[in-house]
Chain A
Amino acid sequence: MKDIAMVIAGVGGQGVITATTIIGYAALKSGLNAISSEVHGMAQRGGIVTVDMRIGTKRSPLIGKGEADIILGFEPVEAYRAMEKLKKDGIMIVSTNPIIPFTVGIGVEKYPDLKELLNDMRKKIERVVEIDALSLAKKAGNPSGLNMVMIGAASKYLGIPAENFEEVIRDYFPDRFVEANLKAFRLGREAVNNDRI
């Protein structure tokens, strides 16, 4: 199977790092190598969080321009911001639920028109998968399970069997959260057409 480079872009508090860990363990379960890179510290609730992740034989912790096979956008603006790292024929999986920055709330900056943003994304990228991840997470009974929905969507493209993800989710979370997270994962997976890289 071929190496995969993926950028996960979101906002502090969305569970980006948890998602990374789950994908990493799912890769490991499948006998694949994985590496991911994140920045802690000043990153906090509401700040930009991006993780560069590779599955396969490559060692570089960061991903260069045009190297990403997938961008997993937990937030539309952050997905758009990371776009340049995507290969021309790469896949953009984007949650369509905005998180409004504080600077917009106090009227200093503007959040772009969502439709316009997504349209422009589709103009530049052939393969865009839009997901209403928040609704799916709520449907799964876990409003903060957006990250599980996104992993579910990404799982179609990573060359890792779904049952390996499910096993990791069972292992990772305390029992009382497992079912809702599994449900969110499955809803995310179902939301994507059976499209392969």
Chain B
Amino acid sequence: MRPIDYVYKGKKGEKAFLLGNEAIVRGALEGGLQFASTYPGTPSSEIGNVLSKIAKKVGIYFEFSTNEKVAMEVAGSAASSGLRSMTFFKHVGLNVAADAYMSLAYIGVKGGMLIVSADDPSMHSSQNEQDNRYYALLANIPMLEPSTPQEAKDMARDSFEISEELGLPVLMRTTTRVNHVRGVVELGEIKKMERKGHLDKDPSKYVPVPSNARKMHPLLLKKMERAREISERSEYNFIIDGEEKKFGIITSGVAYNYVHDYAAGKIPILKLGFTNPLPEKKIAEFLKDKEKILIVEELEPYLEREVRRIAQMEGIEVKIYGKYDGIMPRCYEYNPDIVKSSLSEVFGMSFPSDHVEKGEISLPSRPPVLCPGCPHRAIYYAVKKALQKKKIKMSDVIFPTDIGCYTLGIQKPYEMADYLLCMGSSAGTACGFSRATDQRVISFVGDSTFFHASIPAMINAKHNKQNFIYVILDNRTTAMTGFQPHPGLPVDGMGDEAPMILPEEITKGLGIPTYIVDPYDIKETQKTFEEVLEKNELSVVIARQECALLRYGRERKQGTLKLYTVDQEKCTKCKICVSQFACPAIYIDENGDIRISDVLCTGCGVCVDVCPFNAIKEVSKE
């Protein structure tokens, strides 16, 4: 069996080597999951990818929603109808969903509801490393914090019972080193729920108009007092004893694993897994009679602040070490070296290490780049050419960008990513720049991101009479997170046929002049941009060309893949293809000749038009 088979076919008691995200799906199934929604985002994406493949087989509903707010509303209302539901996204997705999330705490749920926030300490693939544990505190929603795939599975399973007992959604806060860690997971029984969704109407419970909301807030606080009792007796908050009784470590999440490996048995450890509300009595009990406490948690001093508060309120005198005194770092994920060094500093432990020296030979980097044949590269190239033709300087144009592979337009030689806030910000920030400056504005967005959050801002652009060019890079998939479908495709998250909504139907509906180009035809694309620049009005250009990886895969299978080569007789070594177009498949060999790698080339053929000397041609089939 492959790992995904274990997720839904694995039997009770069996052990599987699962990715944290696969384990979360398994746990949710063991908890009786019936209904799930998401918007893809690393490091949470595989949860959706797995559900998308198995939803029909296990008889649950799953959708890729337009954005996280919609996903929260979809799953929240399903839970209010009595179904066990789950919604999940990367940490910043919860920002998008926050409005619905905050009210959902007031309204509560009937069927169990799990919300997974996948945080990304070190920002492996994110714009920030916000600590979403504060969202649990902010909304008064109970929180579980797993440290391993096994715990993530168990907590996902148990979250539904906890949620139903309290009538509140449960937030499970994971981090990259849970979501993207593979570990051995012992499976439990999959629970098949047969509940039918039905809303028992009661506006006093479900409609937070002020008169109702005022009753909901104290009720929520009461629910959280009950939640604290559950936290006090939860098995997810436990102590591992150690020899040095005067010392103690309080830890949660992935950091616990490092603490365990370097201090277990030596120093008593309080490991917290149910982290909102915190088990205050258990913590106070642990602090008593201790001289030194070290708090080991990634990112913000969430536990530390609370532990310091508890110590103060309980009148416990103990020296607490953590982030406020600079012992533990507040940025980036932890690793063994960081934890060992803090254990040495606070408790005087020693960890002899004899490592191989770092090499002195300087090594080349491997930065992420747009793939060979990527249509985004062709668009950036064509827009630049059009600007040159129109004698508009790059410094006189602002290029707001958005979240997707095309953010790599930040790199040389394109340098066409000037400003980015969040998903969909390409449209709203273009509105602001076009009003606030005299610079021209050309803004870039992907297809999935356009649907996600930029449509209200485009309505704003039209209504408030802004002037910019909005380029929708429609590569027919959500490429960066692993090719999930979106509303612009004729298929949904369960693999069924679905109505396809094209971006031009929306922008034309708004009365915005809309042009459609094929970026692989760079000459026509350049001409269109020259025309649009000339008109100088709010306009949309849709660059439609399938993601090169999908096209390459298909063409290779069908045997229709074209390959290209450089005619060395015609090549003048002007290097335009290397330095201005910069496709990774084109390289300079040891003799200084320009070559195209037949391993890397995906056959887009754009370089044929890029070469001013007609030196690039298709390789003949014979």
For residue A106, which residues in chain B have a CB less than 8 angstroms away from its CB?
578-579, 582, 586-588
Determine if A46 and B261 form an interchain contact, defined as CB atoms under 8 angstroms apart. Answer: no
A169 at the interface (CB under 8 A from B): no
Interface residues of A in 1-45 (CB under 8 A from B): 11, 20-21, 24-25, 27-28, 33-45
Q: Which of B178-186, B393-401, B431-439, B505-513 contacts A (4 or more CB under 8 A)?
A: B178-186
A28 touches B184 (CB 8 A): yes
Min Cβ gap B507→A in Å is 30
Q: Contact between B364 and A39 (Cβ–Cβ < 8 Å)?
A: no
Residue of A nearest to B21 (CB): A40
Q: Report yes or no: A59 in contact with B260, Cβ–Cβ below 8 A.
A: yes
B 318-356 to A, binary, CB cutoff 8 A, 1 in contact else 0: 000000000000000101110010000000000001111
How far, in angstroms, from A47 to B369 measured CA to CA in the complex?
8
Known: A40-B180, A81-B363, A120-B361. A105 touches B42 (CB 8 A): no
Q: CA–CA, A41 to B545, complex, Å?
A: 22
Contact of A35 with B183 in the complex, beta carbons under 8 Å: yes
* CB contact list, A49-63 vs B, under 8 A: 58-63
CB-CB under 8 A from A83, the residues of chain B are 356-359
Determine whether the beta carbon of A61 is less than 8 Å from that of B181. Answer: yes
Q: Chain B residues near A86 (CB, 8 Å)?
A: 355-356
Q: Is B15 an interface residue (CB 8 A)?
A: yes
Chain B binder among A110-118, A131-139, A145-153, A182-190: A110-118
State whether A35 touches B182 (Cβ < 8 A). yes
**A125–B366 contact, CB under 8 A?**
no
Contact B366 A25 (CB under 8 A): no
Judge if B1 is at the interface, Cβ distance under 8 Å.
yes
What per-residue 1/0 map shows which CB atoms of B1-32 lie under 8 Å from chain A? 11100000000000111000000000000000
Within 8 A of A (CB), among B20-79: 42-43, 45-46
Q: Distance (Å) between the CB of A70 and the closest chain B CB?
A: 12
Chain A hits for B335, CB < 8 A: 62, 64
Contacting residues, chain B, for A35 (C-beta < 8 A): 148, 181-184
Query: Which interface residue of B177, B182, B183, B254 has the most chain A CB atoms within 10 A?
Result: B182
A66 to B181 alpha-carbon distance, docked (Å): 21
**Cβ contacts under 8 Å, A89 to chain B:** 354
When the two chains form their complex, are residues A21 and B356 in contact, meaning their CB atoms are under 8 A apart? no
How many chain-A residues does the 8 Å CB contact rule pick out?
Answer: 64
The reply to whether A66 and B354 contact each other, CB–CB distance below 8 Å, is: yes
Residues of B within 8 A of A61 (CB): 177, 181, 254, 257
B364 near A36 with CB under 8 A, answer no
Q: How far is it, in angstroms, between the C-alpha of A13 and the C-alpha of B176 when the chains are bound?
A: 21
What is the chain B residue whose CB lies nearest that of A104?
B364
- Asked if B177 and A124 sit within 8 Å, CB to CB, the answer is no
How far does the alpha carbon of A111 sit from the alpha carbon of B148 in the complex, in Å? 38
Nearest to B579 among chain A residues (CB) is: A106
Whole-angstrom distance between the Cβ of A63 and the nearest chain B Cβ: 7
Docked Cα-Cα span, A41 to B21, in Å, equals 14
In the complex, are the beta carbons of A63 and B361 less than 8 A apart? no
Kindly state the separation between the CA atoms of A30 and B284 in the bound complex, as whole angstroms.
43
A102 at the interface (CB under 8 A from B): yes
User: How far apart sit A125 and B365, CA to CA, in the bound complex (Å)?
Assistant: 23
Q: Identify which of A25, A46, A124 contacts B356 (C-beta below 8 A).
A: A124
B371 proximity list for chain A (CB < 8 A): 44-45
**A60-B336, A61-B181, A81-B363 known; A66 and B17 CB under 8 Å?**
no
Q: Which residue of B lies closest to A38 (CB)?
A: B180
| B582 near A34: Cβ-Cβ < 8 Å | no
Does B584 contact A105, Cβ atoms closer than 8 Å? yes
**Does A88 contact B254, Cβ atoms closer than 8 Å?**
no
CA distance A67 to B260 in the complex (A): 16
B358 adjacent to A28 (CB under 8 Å) = no
- Residue A121, interface by CB 8 Å: yes
Bits for A75-115, please: 1 = Cβ < 8 Å to B, else 0. Answer: 00100110111111110000000001111111101111000
| Residues of B with C-beta under 8 A to A25 | 17
Query: Residue among B17, B354, B584 with the most chain A CB within 10 A?
Result: B17
Known contacts A65-B355, A102-B369: A60-B258 contact under CB 8 Å: yes
Whether B362 pairs with A112 at a CB distance below 8 angstroms is: yes
A129 CB to nearest chain B CB (Å): 15
**Closest Cβ neighbor of A53 among chain B residues:** B182
Chain A residues near B364 (CB, 8 Å)? 77, 101, 103-104, 109-112
Taking CB as reference atom, which chain B residue is nearest A174? B2
A37-B181, A39-B180, A101-B364 known; A80 vs B359 contact (CB < 8 Å): yes
Is the beta-carbon distance between B365 and A101 smaller than 8 angstroms?
yes
> Is residue B368 contacting chain A, with contact meaning CB distance below 8 A?
yes
Please tell me if B125 contacts chain A, counting CB pairs below 8 Å: yes
Q: Once bound together, how far apart are the Cα atoms of A101 and B369, in whole Å?
A: 11
Chain B, range 588-606, C-beta contacts under 8 Å to A? 588, 597
In the complex, are the beta carbons of A28 and B261 less than 8 A apart?
A: no
When the two chains form their complex, are residues B356 and A125 in contact, meaning their CB atoms are under 8 A apart?
A: yes
Knowing A64-B340, A67-B336, A117-B361, the reply to whether A58 touches B356 (Cβ < 8 A) is: no
Q: Is the CB of B184 within 8 A of A65?
A: no
**Interface flag for B367 (CB, 8 Å):** yes
Does residue B192 face the partner (Cβ distance < 8 Å to A)?
no
- Is A167 positioned at the interface, with any CB of B under 8 Å from its CB? no
- Answer yes or no: B233 CB below 8 A from chain A CBs: no
In the complex, what distance in Å separates the CA atom of A100 from the CA atom of B364? 9
Contact flags (1/0) for B132-173 with A, using CB distance below 8 Å? Answer: 000000000000000110000000000000000000000000
Q: Are A44 and B368 in contact (CB under 8 A)?
A: yes
Closest beta carbon of chain A to B116's beta carbon, Å? 16
Q: Is there an interface contact between A102 and B584, defined as CB atoms closer than 8 Å?
A: yes
**Bound-complex Cα distance A24 to B33 (A):** 28
Interface presence of A178 (CB below 8 A): no
Interface centre among A37, A61, A111, A117 (most CB of B within 10 A): A61
A162 at the interface (CB under 8 A from B): no
Assess whether A46 is in contact with B369, with CB atoms less than 8 Å apart: yes
Give the complex CA separation of A104 and B600 in angstroms.
14
Interfacial chain B residues near A124, Cβ < 8 Å: 356-357, 359
Q: A-B pairs with the 10 shortest C-beta distances? A: A66-B355, A41-B125, A105-B587, A64-B336, A24-B17, A41-B42, A59-B257, A102-B584, A66-B353, A109-B364
A and B contact pairs by CB, cutoff 8 A, 27 listed: A11-B366, A21-B17, A28-B15, A33-B183, A34-B183, A35-B148, A35-B181, A35-B183, A37-B177, A38-B181, A39-B180, A47-B368, A61-B257, A62-B177, A62-B335, A80-B363, A88-B354, A101-B365, A104-B587, A105-B587, A107-B588, A110-B362, A110-B364, A112-B363, A117-B361, A124-B356, A171-B1
For the complex with contacts A41-B43, A80-B359, 19 further pairs of A-B residues with Cβ separation under 8 Å are: A33-B184, A34-B17, A34-B183, A36-B182, A38-B182, A41-B124, A46-B366, A59-B257, A60-B261, A61-B181, A61-B257, A65-B355, A66-B355, A77-B364, A83-B357, A105-B587, A106-B579, A110-B364, A112-B363
Query: Hey, which bits of chain B sit against chain A, CB under 8 A?
Result: 1-3, 15-17, 42-43, 45-46, 124-125, 147-148, 176-177, 180-184, 254, 256-258, 260-261, 333, 335-337, 340, 353-369, 371, 480, 578-579, 582, 584, 586-588, 597
